Amino acid sequence: MAYTKIWEIKGTLNKALDYIENPDKTQQQLLVSGYNTDPLFASVEFEMTAALAKQMKGDYTKTGGSNILAYHMIQSFSRSDKCTPKQAHEIGKQWADEVLGGKYEYVIATHVDKGQIHNHIIFNAVSFYDYKKFKSVPYKTAALLRRKSDKICEEHGLSVIKRQEQTRAEKVQWRAKIKKIIDEAILKSKTYEEFQHELSKQNIEIKDGKRISFRVLDSEQKRFVRGDTIGQEYSKEYILLRIEQSDEEKRLLSSVLEKKGITTEKIFLESLKHSENDSQIHRMYKKSKLTATKQMAQVLLTLRSENITQVEDLQQNIQKVSQKLREEKQQLKDLTIKNQEYKVVAKCLKTFQDYLPIKQEYEKKMFFLREKYYARYQGELRSFDYAAQKLEQMGISSDADLDKVLEMVKTQDQKAAEVSANIKQDTKRLKEMKTALQIIQTLSPEVTYPLPEKKHKEESR
């Protein structure tokens, strides 16, 4: 089992990095690596990223933001687990990647000097990807770290700490109760007002608005729970549709299902074929009717939004959106890679130009005065030298126009944001269409996906 912990670093970043990279603890630094940063210059690169973020987004500390420089995470493995140092290091990297989403520079060091293998991970508080500060919320962040670590440890055959599940079980119990009461109320109601009245009779309190929320009165449930978090079919939009399906909407669904011989009554009665007695038939009828109503609501919303009237159109739309998503993801990848190059140039140029006066003043000093000056401006001088070296390696002139590079970064960021929004929207569309098709396929197994090429040709004749 792996123990996890996180805390803030506000003023001792160099010391913290020196500690975790200690050769005596990391097999002479064989167990030290960095993500998007050189471990030996991590403090410099963290600072350069933060400086560029201020240039692009404004000074966090002047707008109420935190002055946190970095975060320090620990992942300590049980002595009873047979985990090698190399395996622990790889698990630590996987853990950091899942927690940070690949958006923050970090250094990971695996310590083996105390008999109990453990990972130290120090990551920048500012993202090099979108310049946002990492938001650490006590308890929530700790729970996230634990959850991600447990998942990865289980994947690698390591033990995890078993926690009490009583609270979760209670939560599941009252959510199931709310779902059951809502389902029964919908079947009894022809209007939304009747639905509300049915819930109040069952001791369910409603908080109405753009999103609807529910709470069981006189129970352990202290807070309202949103319907769409219980399940998609319990959102206000779906509830209204399930209560007040119009004849036009029913005809729209029928136009899709009619070709395959599927009727609403057939859906409702499908599970009754093997019933043995009247009470069982009654129970199964109610259950199948409720399931079919939910399925119809899901399919209807998708078909209306996609303007689909037949199964073949749904299949073709799935193929088109799938191809579009592949192209958008490749476009985002290309934009990200290109913009990362611009960002490296931008932060090196900014560092070089900001600290050039300090470097020039240092070089003017008499030899015996340089040591004292360097001690005072060590961070700035190290950053300047590092930036100058990187610019030379990239073949970029230190006199390049920083404002133009920053404008290029902003333009690329805007394009990436637009593509990301499109990917999110199209992913949602694709999921909804696949769900609708799956429902139709379940009701009519002869429907196939993807549609065979041969069938396309036959239909076109």
Contact at 8 Å (CB) between 31 and 120?
A: no
Helix (H) or strand (E) holding 207: strand 204-207
Count of H-run helices and E-run strands, the chain: 16, 8
Give start and end residues of each alpha helix (H) in 101-211.
Answer: 140-155, 166-188, 192-201
Domain covering 2-155: architecture: 2-Layer Sandwich (3.30)
Which residues of the chain register pLDDT less than 50?
A: 164-166, 246-247, 250-254, 256-275, 280-281, 284, 446-461
What are the sequence ranges of the domains in the chain?
2-155, 166-243, 247-294, 317-443
- Under the phi-then-psi rule, with left for phi > 0, alpha for psi from -120 to 50, and beta for the rest, what region is 82? beta
Query: Residue 224 phi/psi, 5° resolution?
Result: -70, 150
Give the separation between CA 443 and CA 253, rounded to whole angstroms. 13
Residues with Cβ within 8 Å of 316's Cβ and at least 6 positions away in sequence, in order, are 451
- pTM (predicted TM-score): 0.60
Reported as a single tens digit per residue, the pLDDT across 207-221 is: 887 789 998 876 666
